[in-house]
Structure 1
Amino acid sequence: MIGLCLGLAGLVWAQVPTPAFTLAWDHTIEKIRWEEDYRVTPQGLLLGEARVRGSGAGMEIPEGAELKDGSWRYHRTLPPLQPLRVGRTPEAGDYQLCFDEQCHVLSEWLGPPTAEQPALELWSCAQVE
């Protein structure tokens, strides 16, 4: 079974057995929620729809986005991401990983964000059972 691996430089810190997930976070300055939907495939993570609840500093609404249910919704065409690298610091707060109709902060698997480890990678991987 394929799923999601969390770690850095190929070192797996945690595995999540899910074929799809939403990565969500609050903008550090504007405190506005962003969400990106991904499918986990053997080639990597495929970005589907993305949503942002407003605009602000460094948060321009992409051309072609549509306002629906309080969020600007849009799609970007990207090749599979393998890995998807994100910054993770105490000042920025933590990301949420949403799947199976529930959201979980990454610290549930990885502990709190630290200045000593300011980055994280997510990639598709075979799940160890």
Structure 2
Amino acid sequence: MIAVCLGLAGVVWAQLPTPAFTLAWDHTIEKIRWEEDYRVTPDGLVLGEARVKGSGAGMEIPDGATLRDGSWHYRTTLPPLPLLRLGRTPEAGDYQLCIDRQCRPMSDWLGPPLLDTPAVELWSCSPDG
């Protein structure tokens, strides 16, 4: 089975055995929810569909997005990402990881965001590392 690893600079802090997950967060200024669906593959994290509830400062709705169920839905054509680096600070709030439609704050696996560790990285890995 494949997993998503969470950590920094190649050091694994947590592993979640899953073939897919949704990364969700609220924009720090506009307080608008964003969600991105990822598949975990041996080549990296593949971004599929993404959703945003609205637009605002620095949050333009992508071309081709469609409004459905109160969110703008869109797809990207990015190649697999070997690494996804996220800023994570106490002021910004926490990300949520959703697996099988069950969302939990990233702090459930990593503890709360800390000033001295302002980032986390996600990557594809095997359950044993």
Query: 1:76 and 1:39 mapped to 2: Cα distance?
Result: 13
Query: 1:28 and 1:6 mapped to 2: Cα distance?
Result: 22
Residue by residue over 1:13-49, the C-alpha shift from the partner in whole angstroms, topping out at 9 and shown as x without a partner, is: 0000110000000000000000000000000000000
User: Alpha-carbon deviation of 1:115?
Assistant: 1.1
Which residue in the other structure is 1:82 paired with?
Answer: 82
Which residue in the other structure is 2:64 paired with?
Answer: 64
Percent identical pairs in the alignment equals 76
Tell me which amino acid in the other structure corresponds to 2:42. Answer: P
User: Alpha-carbon deviation of 1:100?
Assistant: 1.8
What is the RMSD of the two structures over their aligned residues, measured on CA atoms? Answer: 1.0
Question: Gaps (5+ residues) in structure 1?
Answer: none
User: Alpha-carbon deviation of 1:50?
Assistant: 0.4
Q: TM-score, normalised by structure 2?
A: 0.98
**4+ runs deviating over 6 angstroms:** none
Q: TM-score, normalised by structure 1?
A: 0.98
Which residue in the other structure is 1:2 paired with?
Answer: 2
Q: Aligned residue pairs: how many?
A: 129
Query: 2:56 and 2:8 mapped to 1: Cα distance?
Result: 30
Query: 1:107 and 1:86 mapped to 2: Cα distance?
Result: 14
Whether 2:40 is the aligned partner of 1:40: answer yes
